[in-house]
């Protein structure tokens, strides 16, 4: 997966957004699992989340920009 090079401030912001999104997803999943008497292991979740993020990023990065407005 390749991320575009950004300024240091923009890269830091992007990293915070990615980490925040992952943490939010994990907390929601953990709460849902608790209601079903299940446990969620963070490292397993983290790897699956990263794989999913990479596949979505790869797909979106291949999209072509939209043409002129009609």
pLDDT in tens, 45-59: 888 888 888 888 788
CA angle 45, 51, 57 (to 5 degrees): 130
Burial group, residue 18, by CB count within 10 angstroms (0-12, 13-18, 19+): middle
Distance CA 55, CA 69 (A): 29
The pLDDT value given to residue 38 = 87
Distance CA 1, CA 27 (A): 25
pLDDT tier for residue 70 given thresholds of 50, 70 and 90: low
Q: For 6-31, how does the pLDDT look when each residue is reduced to its tens digit (9 = 90+)? A: 888 888 888 888 888 888 888 888 88
Q: What are the sequence ranges of the domains in the chain?
A: 8-61
The pLDDT value given to residue 2 = 67
Place of tokens 């797909």: 59
Q: 18 is written with which tokens? A: 């990615």
pTM of the entire predicted model:
0.54
């Amino acid at each position: 997966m390749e991320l575009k090079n950004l300024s240091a401030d923009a890269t830091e912001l992007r990293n915070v957004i990615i980490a925040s999104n992952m943490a939010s997803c994990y907390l929601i999943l953990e709460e849902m699992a608790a209601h079903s008497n299940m446990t969620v292991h963070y490292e397993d979740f983290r790897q699956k989340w990263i794989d999913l993020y990479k596949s979505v990023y790869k797909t979106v990065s291949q999209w072509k920009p939209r043409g002129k407005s009609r």
